[in-house]
Amino acid sequence: SSRVLWTLAVTQLKAVSEALDWLDHNPSAEKEEYEKKQKEVEGVCTPIITKMYQAAGGAEGAAPGGFPGGFPGAAGAGGFPGAGASGADTGAKPSAKGPKIEEVD
């Protein structure tokens, strides 16, 4: 229901707002502390984004534009072919089935 989705959105907004406040008050934190805070926010936001997308009629594990494996950078998602979850170059070749990019002058 839209009420549930609204509640999830507010929960997500609160998590992001708290993280931004933490960042403002901890400019000299160690890298590990920033990474821990990022994981906390991702732990709240990723499931909510997934639920909202599924409620909108999207297939699990695929984004609206047809990104195989979900959106780039999502934990455990493949994102764009060859990008890997972190966006790192994995050396994978583009699929012969996928779209081709041609240079246009």
- Per-residue pLDDT reduced to its tens digit, 22-77: 999 999 999 999 999 999 999 999 988 888 788 778 755 554 544 445 444 544 44
pLDDT score of 93 more than 80: no
What pLDDT does residue 36 have?
Answer: 94
- Between residues 18 and 98, which one has the greater pLDDT? 18
Contact in structure between 71 and 87 (CB atoms under 8 Å): no
- Is 21's pLDDT higher than 50? yes
Of residues 97 and 53, the one with the higher pLDDT is: 53
